[in-house]
Structure 1
């Protein structure tokens, strides 16, 4: 369990660093009014300006509104690759499984058994494929950004806020070491036809933001992968 109050947030991270793997965790998010909070499950190579990072960020809501899942990929300090989805269930009512599959070909994001996004690698574009990353889970105050673009801050009178975690799983290649015995299951994994169908379903019914549709943000032209996907 990780808590957030007005003084500080919280989190934990893996002792190992990894270069490719399958990572999942079960989370039960903040019930009721969680506006302004950000609950995260992510991989990161560090805090420097040239970091690699793969994010699943759950942006809190006012009571009765959907929780937004923000997925993002950073390569050599270049991010701005967000796909955001309204969750189609109450993520505070029970535990749900959130998964990141990271291999040399693509990054796959899953909610329970549903693949909702695939970020593909292109040889001439930046992709996180050389910097070992550790696994993190955090809960922090994102009042300036998280809910309705920062319009609704954290209501500290309803805190402390808590997120519960269980069943962390990593089947991965340890940096400087060997890959796990099960690495064949994810090292070359790409979405099959059924999984491409769930991506289309999520995009059609629950996507609220796609960076490849945000012309205001990219007035000089969209990132290269947008044209090819």
Structure 2
């Protein structure tokens, strides 16, 4: 009887937690496509985006931001996810001169030797040829991992769990995304034309629908036309210290699969100016 009572109590507590948890998707975002919501055992809202042959899915913030720290936990597609792209990014819009800060996860063929590639990129005034790509050193479909973007007047930082993997610095005389407010987006879409081995491996639709899970969204940011949230001093002047630069170099040395500053074919007239300043 005691065991049964405890089991019932656990269910009641879990439901109570779910009911009282802050529904960040419902309060902060618009959605598109097949988007489902639920709660895990700890009461956190879990959002599932689904991709099939008819359409992808996504959510985008109501607010626009000018600088901030943004993070989310994601659990990616298990098995053969070749051709799919799962994203967490900021964008000022779709126009020719838009700004954007990207974390894009390019699906893979299942099995050893086919890691999921994380593409980090910064677009400024419509120019987006600033990619650093990394082969993830863990299985991103086995569990949730935390992905973070810090954007301030001095640099844009990319972080995976507790490790910084990239700093895109601001340099005098070089365009930087500093004046265009951006919305926060998460999307799942068909990227067959470029995502897996440069488009050589298409989506196997027999595995559809493909699902990506998001939870534990966090933002501490300056709202466009309004004030910064409390605690902005924690990220507004944030730059990497020596140890954190060490993790960037570790990621570059062991897991970087593409660096635009080494792609002479793409830049026959010379590399972008910032490449010589790091």
TM range (shorter): over 0.9
Q: Shift of residue 158 of structure 1?
A: 0.7
Structure 2 residue aligned with 1:81? 130
Does residue 49 of structure 1 match 2:59? no
Partners of 2:192 and 2:238 in 1: how far apart? 37
RMSD of Structure 2 on Structure 1 (CA)? 0.4
Partners of 2:80 and 2:168 in 1: how far apart? 32
Partners of 1:182 and 1:134 in 2: how far apart? 20
Structure 1 residue aligned with 2:188? 139
SS in structure 1 of the partner of residue 247 of structure 2: helix
Structure 2 residue aligned with 1:31? 78
Q: Select 1:149's aligned residue among 180, 193, 198.
A: 198
Q: Shift of residue 182 of structure 1?
A: 0.7
Structure 2 residue aligned with 1:110? 159
Aligned residues: 229
Q: Shift of residue 163 of structure 1?
A: 0.1
**Higher RCO (CA-CA < 8 Å; seq separation 6+):** 1
Structure 1 residue aligned with 2:115? 66
Does residue 228 of structure 1 match 2:228? no
TM-score, with length taken from structure 2 = 0.82
Moved over 2 A (4+): none
- Structure 1: state its 5+ residue gaps: none
Partners of 1:88 and 1:55 in 2: how far apart? 19
Superposed CA offset, 1:112-150 (max 9, x none): 000000000012011100000000000000000000000
**Bigger radius of gyration, 1 or 2?**
2
TM-score, with length taken from structure 1 = 1.00
- Structure 2: state its 5+ residue gaps: 1-47
Superposed CA offset, 1:150-171 (max 9, x none): 0000000111000000011100
Partners of 2:126 and 2:140 in 1: how far apart? 30
